[in-house]
Amino acid sequence: MTALKVVVSAAFGVALSLLAAASSVLAQRPPRIAAAANLNFAIKEVAESFARAGGSPVEVVFGASGTLTRQIQDGAPFEMFLSADEEFPNRLAAAHLTRGPGDVYAIGRLALFAPRGSPLKVDERLDGLAQLLKAGGVDRFAIANPETAPYGRAAQAVLEKHGLWDAIRPRIVLGSTIAQAAQFATTGNAAGGLLAYSLVLAELKSRGDYAVVPAADHPALRQRVVLLRAAGPVAERFYRYVLGSEAQAIFEKHGFGIPR
- Give the pLDDT confidence of 195-243 residue by residue, as tens digits: 999 999 999 999 999 999 999 999 999 999 999 999 999 999 999 999 9
Whether residues 93 and 113 share a domain: the answer is no
Q: Is residue 249 part of a domain?
A: yes
Q: Is residue 156 part of a domain?
A: yes
Q: Is residue 38 part of a domain?
A: yes
pLDDT single digits (tens) 92-132? 999 999 999 999 999 999 999 999 999 999 999 999 999 99
Whether residues 90 and 128 share a domain: the answer is no
Read off the pLDDT of each residue in 71-94 and give the average, rounded to a whole number: 98
pLDDT single digits (tens) 22-70? 333 345 689 999 999 999 999 999 999 999 998 899 999 999 999 999 9
Whether residues 172 and 205 share a domain: the answer is yes
Q: Is residue 18 part of a domain?
A: no
pLDDT single digits (tens) 231-247? 999 999 999 999 999 99
* pTM for this prediction: 0.87
Q: Give the residue among 3, 221, 6 at the shortest CA–CA distance from 110.
A: 221
Q: Is residue 13 part of a domain?
A: no
Whether residues 118 and 203 share a domain: the answer is yes
Looking at residue 29, its pLDDT comes to: 85
Q: Is residue 153 part of a domain?
A: yes
Whether residues 125 and 205 share a domain: the answer is yes
Q: Is residue 1 part of a domain?
A: no
| Burial of 51: CB neighbours in 10 Å, binned 0-12, 13-18, 19+ | middle
Whether residues 142 and 153 share a domain: the answer is yes
Q: Is residue 100 part of a domain?
A: yes
Distance separating alpha carbons of residues 148 and 66, to the nearest angstrom: 4
Whether residues 200 and 74 share a domain: the answer is no
Whether residues 59 and 146 share a domain: the answer is no
Number of separate domains in the chain: 2
Distance separating alpha carbons of residues 168 and 133, to the nearest angstrom: 7
Whether residues 88 and 43 share a domain: the answer is yes
Whether residues 116 and 183 share a domain: the answer is yes
Whether residues 64 and 151 share a domain: the answer is no
Looking at residue 7, its pLDDT comes to: 45
CATH number at residue 138: 3.40.190.10
Domain that holds residue 137: 109-217
pLDDT single digits (tens) 136-191? 999 999 999 999 999 999 999 999 999 999 999 999 999 999 999 999 999 878 99
